Amino acid sequence: MADPKVSYDRLEESTKSLQTIQRELGDTGGRQKEIKEFLGSGDIAHAMHDFASNWDYHRHKLLDKVKAMGEMAEKTMEAFKDVDKKLEDGLDGAGKKK
């Protein structure tokens, strides 16, 4: 069986990217309110309200999933670093016993 290879740089980059996506998704809610005054009234305003409500619902679902993925990436990195440290400590201890 091959030894697993983990790129901490890749995991850290993924975590940061997911945090950026999370911020962007979180910020879009405020933008909807900013443009509301420019829509006027009538069919366009109603259609945009429907779209914004639908987007808001799905954005929150997506935001939850992105947050969960970010947490998994962080925990994965921490777990691999912990294993690496334990293996390193074990090798250091084995070398000292000789």
Confidence bin at 66 (pLDDT 50/70/90): very high
Q: What is the pLDDT of residue 76?
A: 92
pLDDT average, residue stretch 63-68: 95
For 5-40, what is each residue's pLDDT tens digit?
888 899 999 999 999 999 988 887 767 777 777 777
Instruction: Check residue 3 and report its DSSP letter.
Output: P
Those residues with Cβ within 8 angstroms of residue 76's Cβ, 6 or more apart along the chain or in another chain: 11
Query: What ranges do the domains of the chain cover?
Result: 9-93
pLDDT average, residue stretch 67-77: 93
Q: Judge whether 1 and 74 are in contact, CB under 8 Å.
A: no
Rounded to two decimals, the pTM is 0.69
Q: What percent of the chain has pLDDT over 70?
A: 90
Confidence bin at 44 (pLDDT 50/70/90): confident
